[in-house]
Amino acid sequence: MKRLIDDIFIFDLDGTTVDSTHREGETLEDWFRLNTEENVMNDKPLPLARAIRGLWESGFTVLICTSRTLSYWDNDYLINRLHVPKGVKIISREKGNNTESWKLKKKQLSYLQNFKHFKNARKYLIDDKENNRVAFEELGSNCWGLSPASGARFIKHMIKY
């Protein structure tokens, strides 16, 4: 579906749109181990999660880019709890990939600067991790990394959510 507005908003999940602190551990291996149905269903939506649908319904292109390896339960949560619209592309970690989050996200989102269709669009990554935001901004002068608080303030001027 052709979106009406060229701006692209990219949302992180953990710590940005979802509170999943109850399943954090010390390592990536801990995260995989704690990624159970019960733990996923105990995640709590954060206020910024509503902006995903609000921006989409307002004509913006919206993506989710997470360092998670998504399970069936993660996808169920995104659809049934966060009410992520069908057209929102979800980019996630492949099983077995242990790349650092900032490197992973930079690589996964680099296509937005390489494909003619997206190259000139303004792109906003809303992520709670500063190193992810900095790496994203290295992709180009039209790529901005926003903290969840800054992202919420910025979006509030564009839509009501």
pLDDT tens digits for range 28-77: 778 778 888 899 999 999 999 999 999 999 999 999 999 988 999 999 99
CATH code of the region 8-156: 3.40.50.1000
Q: What is the pLDDT of residue 108?
A: 97
Q: What is the pLDDT of residue 141?
A: 95
To which residue do tokens 């602190």 refer? 21
Sign for the CA dihedral angle at 132, 11, 104, 61 comes to negative
For residues 121 and 6, is the Cβ–Cβ distance under 8 A? yes
As a whole number of angstroms, the distance between CA 65 and CA 150 comes to 18
Domain ranges, ordered by start, for the chain: 8-156
pTM, two decimal places: 0.92
3 pLDDT tier (thresholds 50, 70, 90): low
As a whole number of angstroms, the distance between CA 133 and CA 68 comes to 17
